[in-house]
Amino acid sequence: MAQTEISEEKIKAYGATHYRAGSGSDALVLRIGQHSPALALHYAGNGVDCALFITAFNPFGQEQDDAANQTAHARLGEQLRDVSDHVFEGDGADPSGQWPAERSYLAFGIDADAARVLGRRFQQDAVVWIGKDAVPQLLLLR
């Protein structure tokens, strides 16, 4: 694994997270390292071959108050909509329930370099980037 300031415990938690975009029976649930046939279908239907799953909540994993998180989330949404025609609300949820879900976005057509820029701009430890293979991966940012 690349050298990083992020603790192994946090990386494991990010790896176990369920990254969900959309709602109800139409929701996509993405897991690190697991191919998503549903996402591959969305790629084909939207003419894209990559996507970014990102949050602006809790910069560098430090808990923020709700107002700060909501403001950052809205700002992130605006920036994503400036660069992608396909942006979906979602959340990153701990399947064990030990920490609350964080509001997030799935945005199509964001390459890995742009994903890193956005993640760093919003002071995130990592973002989830998905290439043409439709297999989500963590991009560690510090």
pLDDT in tens, 69-126: 999 999 999 999 999 999 999 999 998 888 889 999 999 999 999 999 999 999 999 9
Q: Phi first, then psi: what are they for 7, rounded to 5°? A: -65, 150
In-domain check, residue 106: yes
pLDDT greater than 80 at residue 39: yes
In-domain check, residue 2: no
The total domain count for the chain is 1
Structural domain range at position 32: 8-140
In-domain check, residue 108: yes
Residue of 25, 49, 106, 105 whose CA lies nearest to 72: 105
In-domain check, residue 85: yes
